[in-house]
Amino acid sequence: MRQYKALINNELVDNGQWLEIMNPATLEIAGKVSALTPDDINKAFSVARSSQEQWEQVELLKRISILKRFRDLIDQNKEEIAQIMSEEIAKNLKESLAEVERTVEIIDYTFEEAKRIEPMALTGEGMGAKNKLGVFSRVAKGVILAISPFNYPFNLAFAKIIPALVMGNTVVFKPATAGSLVGAYMSELVIKAELPKGIFNIITGRGREIGDIITSNPEIDMISFTGSVGIGNQIRKNGSTTDLVLELGGKDPALVLDDLNLDKYCDEIINGAFGYSGQRCTAVKRVLVNNEIADKLVPLLKNKIESLSVGMPKDNAFITPVIDEKSADFIQSLIDDAKQKGANIVTGDKREKNLMWPTLIDNVSLDMKVAWEEPFGPILPIIRIDTIDEMVKIANDSQFGLQASIFCQDISKAILTAKRIKTGTVNINSRPQRGPDSFPFLGIKDSGEGVQGIRESLLSMTRYMGLVINY
Ligand code: NAP
Ligand code: G3H
């Protein structure tokens, strides 16, 4: 059985307490990680604080070359990392490896982009001032708490950790429980890479037990959190005196405005809705389409959905078990509610424990929960709507505002409609997606606060420091 320890000040934590991590595919224990106590957690923040100033004083190119040793170890161990990830979150092996490789690319890009975070020089003239030269540089915020979700345990962790470290911050990292094996496996790589002591600390334990203790620690200068709206809002309360970047849930709509390339639209919608069994914040979580186009779209979607492989992550099945049985129960409750209120199950609605077949639900009406709630599972509701005005209204009548898609060959019509949609990003003729990671990534309304993306993270994890020369 796998067993990995948390890391504080480059020392593995050995407090005799363990947290068991389940394999969602076998429903057996995949391994265990350290379960930290409040004292351990305080120590992690305290060493992060005491090592920060010295780390920030290391010049940028030197910091990059130190962190590159760690990046190279990730690259050398990518198959092992993908295997661990696949065992604890049931993401198929191919996609797990792709996640690690994408992360290495993010790290490389971040190293390059950090060199372009240049100071701004201003002459102070007017408004009562003259003979002033202001130089405003970006400096580290201090101690950054990074909290990642289960669905991208590697990528979303390092999309926070690397920009924080490269800009001279120190990090306390809390992975999701499902995702802790791969998180704590990093402890060994940090030691091997001989990163300076205390700059990168990994704390593991169940969020509902230690979450509040972590997020209310007074040493934190900034929290970068990705996860659900419920926990995000709790963090808003606990971390109200620190800077926050929150990337939360979504209910991304796909508006299909014509039938000029339906085959391509279907492929995008299916990959968007069912990739990693629908457990992506940017999954297509509802389709808005008029009756005439829906009559052609639904049979096409049905055929393609029925050809998706359903099975185990080790066999690279497209649809794999969702993270746990509780999550499967919730997804099933949305299907049952829709059925009971008159929706038409076109395909799917089959389940073995937490393995759920991809489910297409047609004629979803606005009184059904699945029209509004985030399932985080392999179900796709079709809402039949007559006009673009009504589609825009339904798209916007949501608590969420992460992304949306518009499928339409008339680019002017697509752009004019996109501009009316209240989400962080609208994708024209593709599924919603975070990448490429160099793009700003943000949610509005309940979907988040602040912006991620490579450059945006380098900026959000620093602040201006002004030097004004009077001559
Ligand atoms: P979650 O349950 O909110 O957990 C996210 C993280 O918060 C985990 O590390 C969790 O640890 C931790 N946590 C739990 N309770 C906490 C507390 N009281 N204080 C501080 N941290 C706490 O979310 P999830 O189930 O892992 O991920 C799915 C959700 O994330 C979906 O809603 C999805 O849309 C969203 N998501 C959003 C984005 C985005 O960029 N917008 C990206 C990915 C996912 P434990 O696991 O130990 O509880
Ligand atoms: O789960 C949320 C992720 O940020 C989505 O990333 O669009 O690259 O799958 P993705």
The binding-site residues of ligand 2, defined as CB within 6 angstroms of any ligand atom, are 151-152, 280-282, 433-435
- Catalytic residue selected from 87, 99, 219, 247: 247
User: What are the respective helix, strand and coil percentages of the chain, to the nearest 5?
Assistant: 40, 25, 35
Residue 37, amino acid: T
User: What stretches of 91-150 show up as alpha helix (H) in DSSP?
Assistant: 93-114
Mutation test residue for ligand 1: of 161, 206, 228, the one with most atoms within 8 Å of CB = 228
Selection from 403, 451, 392, 468 nearest residue 431 by Cα? 403
Task: Give the C-alpha distances (Å, rounded to integers) separating 7 from 11, 220, 308, 368.
Answer: 6, 18, 40, 46
Atom of ligand 1 nearest to the CA of 230: 3
H or E segment and range at residue 147 = strand 143-147
pLDDT at 241 > cutoff 90: no
Residue whose CA is at the smallest distance from ligand 2 atom 6 = 434
* Distance, CA of 195 to CA of 183 (rounded, Å): 16
Mutation test residue for ligand 1: of 203, 210, 213, 231, the one with most atoms within 8 Å of CB = 231
Q: Please tell me whether residue 421 adopts helix, strand or coil conformation.
A: coil
Atom of ligand 1 nearest to the CA of 208: 15
Per-residue pLDDT, 411: 98
pLDDT at 340 > cutoff 80: yes
pLDDT at 331 > cutoff 80: yes
H or E segment and range at residue 53 = helix 38-57
DSSP string, 271-318: HHHHGGGG-STTSEEEEEE-HHHHHHHHHHHHHHHHTS-BS-GGGT-S
* Distance, CA of 257 to CA of 226 (rounded, Å): 32
Q: Please tell me whether residue 265 adopts helix, strand or coil conformation.
A: helix
Q: What is the mean pLDDT of residues 203-219?
A: 96
Domains of the chain: 2-248+447-470 (3.40.605.10), 252-437 (3.40.309.10)
Q: What is the mean pLDDT of residues 219-223?
A: 97
Residue 5, amino acid: K
Per-residue pLDDT, 155: 98
Is there a contact between 273 and 253 (Cβ–Cβ < 8 Å)?
Answer: no
The binding-site residues of ligand 1, defined as CB within 6 angstroms of any ligand atom, are 147-152, 156, 174-177, 206-208, 211-212, 214-215, 226-228, 231, 234-235, 247-250, 281, 374, 376, 402, 443, 448
Per-residue pLDDT, 237: 86
Q: Tokens standing for 192?
A: 């091997």
* Distance, CA of 47 to CA of 55 (rounded, Å): 12
Q: Tokens standing for 380?
A: 């796709």
Average pLDDT along the chain: 97
- Helix 229-238 to helix 207-215 angle (10° resolution) is 30
Each residue's pLDDT tens digit, 417-447: 999 999 999 999 999 999 899 999 999 999 9
Q: Please tell me whether residue 11 adopts helix, strand or coil conformation.
A: strand
Kindly give the distance from the C-alpha atom of residue 149 to the centroid of ligand 1, in angstroms, as a whole number: 4
> Which ligand is in closest contact with the Cα of 280?
2
pLDDT at 415 > cutoff 80: yes
Q: What is the mean pLDDT of residues 113-117?
A: 98
Q: Tokens standing for 166?
A: 């490269």
Query: Does the annotation count 247 as an active-site position?
Result: yes
pLDDT at 239 > cutoff 80: no
Q: Please tell me whether residue 62 adopts helix, strand or coil conformation.
A: helix
Task: Give the C-alpha distances (Å, rounded to integers) separating 452 from 164, 393, 421, 462.
Answer: 12, 27, 20, 13
Each residue's pLDDT tens digit, 273-327: 999 999 999 999 999 999 999 999 999 999 999 999 999 999 999 999 999 999 9
Name the pLDDT band for 108 (thresholds 50, 70, 90).
very high
Atom of ligand 1 nearest to the CA of 443: 41
Kindly give the distance from the C-alpha atom of residue 159 to the centroid of ligand 2, in angstroms, as a whole number: 12
Half-sphere exposure of 310 (CA within 13 A, CB side): 20
Other CB atoms within 10 Å distance of the CB of residue 328: 20
End-to-end CA gap in the chain:
67
- Of all residues in the chain, the percent with pLDDT exceeding 90 is 98
Q: Please tell me whether residue 445 adopts helix, strand or coil conformation.
A: strand
- Of all residues in the chain, the percent with pLDDT exceeding 70 is 100
Name the pLDDT band for 238 (thresholds 50, 70, 90).
confident
Kindly give the distance from the C-alpha atom of residue 330 to the centroid of ligand 1, in angstroms, as a whole number: 16
Other CB atoms within 10 Å distance of the CB of residue 129: 12
Q: What is the mean pLDDT of residues 189-200?
A: 98
Atom of ligand 1 nearest to the CA of 205: 47
Name the pLDDT band for 375 (thresholds 50, 70, 90).
very high
Name the pLDDT band for 240 (thresholds 50, 70, 90).
confident
Each residue's pLDDT tens digit, 377-408: 999 999 999 999 999 999 999 999 999 999 99
Kindly give the distance from the C-alpha atom of residue 43 to the centroid of ligand 2, in angstroms, as a whole number: 32
Strand-pairing partners, residue 246, are: 225, 449
Is there a contact between 358 and 348 (Cβ–Cβ < 8 Å)?
Answer: yes
Kindly give the distance from the C-alpha atom of residue 303 to the centroid of ligand 1, in angstroms, as a whole number: 34
Per-residue pLDDT, 406: 98
Each residue's pLDDT tens digit, 68-99: 999 999 999 999 999 999 999 999 999 999 99
